[in-house]
Structure 1
Amino acid sequence: MAKKITFHDHKPKTLSLQDAVIEGFSGRYKSIPPKFFYDARGSALFAAICEQPEYYPPNIEQTMLTRLAGEIAELTGTGRVVFEPGAGAATKIRLLLDALKPVAYVPMDISCEFLKQAAAELVDEFPWLPVHAACVDFTHSLPIPETVPAGPRLAFFPGSSIGNFSPREACEFLTLVGDKIGRDGMLLIGVDTKKDPGILHAAYNDAAGITAAFNLNLLRRMRNEVGVECEPENFAHRAFYNRELGRIEMHLVSRCRQTLRLNGYRFELGAGETVHTENSYKYAPEEFLAQASRAGLRQVRHWVGERGLFALYLLAPA
């Protein structure tokens, strides 16, 4: 069977790491967007995080998708156009393809070369599947390629990535997805749940120190790629559950008073001052369904995994 693959580069405009450093370190509260975690070393470290016994989401979600594939397909029907924002290596969609039998699959990712490789590997494994890969920044737009056939759509957003958005941003993203799927569309989304803070603390502070290395790798990128004068050894990893806001926060903590320099800019950090690198919001079912409702989506069904640690939601336009 002939392989079917097309590639669409929408040339997403992204904030450069240099601009992110200047912007993020110039304010009273310093921060760097989490998308800058993912250089080659950062991506490898995140893959290692997913193998740590404390980090529960990947295994639980993959177990749920494998077990529920038939039930999900009964609810969605087969023959849909499936698109996946932030598809990465397209690992999890593989668990559903035989059951869903989509007429086309649209992986979306901001890393064009990585996307091309992932799409090529996918069509090697599923030569019957037309793949229309789209290089986009899905946080701003979700352009469906014109080559994609008509038909009902299913958006697939696994991995609890919705938690990296603030609640306002999450509502805006869900609204955008709702617009793209149309009246007969559906959304299958993974969402991390609220749980014992001890479990969350362990997940983001693994005993092997992989998450700490992942967080600190941002400083090495800043030094090696942009030329920021800094010593990564002068920072420590901190991750904690903010119960009031319902989110895990990750920070880089300055161990001492220090000055970072970049192209004439000077950034002063006091001992104990932090650089905020990531949020990961957690949702109880009623909280997430209320969020979905505000975005014009209703529940078709939802499933909760082992010990209530993770949830999958199938949504449709209200």
Structure 2
Amino acid sequence: MLNQRASRVKVASTIEAKENENIDTLWREHEHIQNEFKNIFNTVSFNSLEKPDFSYLDLKIKIGEKIFESCYFCEMKCHINRNIEKGFCNVKNPKIASEFMHMGEETPLIPSHTIFFTGCNFECIYCQNFDISQFPEAGIKISEMHLAKIIDKRRKEGSRNVNFVGGDPTPNLYYILKTMKQCNENIPVIWNSNFYMSEDAMKLLDGFVDLFLSDFKYGPEECAEKLSKISNYWNTITRNHKMAKKSGDMIIRHLVLPGHVECCSKPILKWISENLGKETVINIMGQYHPVYRACESEKITRYPSRRELEEVVNYAKNLGFINLI
């Protein structure tokens, strides 16, 4: 963020890759470079970055294009051609609700250039951003080149990162890859997501994202299905957090839902402790308020109580977490 070393996007754009039209061959090339990327990233000189004709970033874009034509960026895996139709997320071509220098993110990240996409692959009945997440047509179309110029401009104005959020950025991964290729400034990428990405999407994000800002919502019970219409939530989210830990920096957000301390908050914190480590940065959030269709679930028709919030925070402290926000 301080511009003292190259971001992952910049490094990825300097690694030469072999171009091909066959998806299996492309994935083999991607895996080969992915295995070497960490060493390259840690040793590359910031002042000697040269771009080849076809780079690791170009390779990601090429694979992203093929996924877009039979979409499985998220674990829903609709396998529809997004050029001509919509899947579960109802997102065809990306639309942006807003972009601005956000001062409300975690302190180390601000000012954060936050880009809000419309549409989402979740249907949370309590969504705090339902006006954009559940209405994918609400935004405006912006070309990749135009958005890249905006990102560069914000960086020059003092942004510490570019922060892709929504709704959710996952349906827009192909567009985001193409946008960042057009950026001239050296800027770290934040992936601000519900973390329901497919395994292949996570592979594309490896070597592209500098910091994962996850929204870890639910425990292993049926809460994800009841509140967000999402199946296989726990297995998908836990897999992706393990992959993210190997890929880049991470901050995990957890919004405390009223009546969901035992089924969600505590299992989540226990799993993080056992699988990601007690040094994991966690933001326990208490700003839930019942909006949208929250009245459809009796438990969440109220604010979380002070007792519930204190219970979650104390549970995290007793687990030994040392980086609680």
Q: Could you say whether these structures have the same fold, taking a TM-score greater than 0.5 normalized by the shorter chain as the test? A: no
With a CA cutoff of 8 Å and minimum separation of 6, indicate the structure with the bigger relative contact order: 1
TM-score by length of 1: 0.30
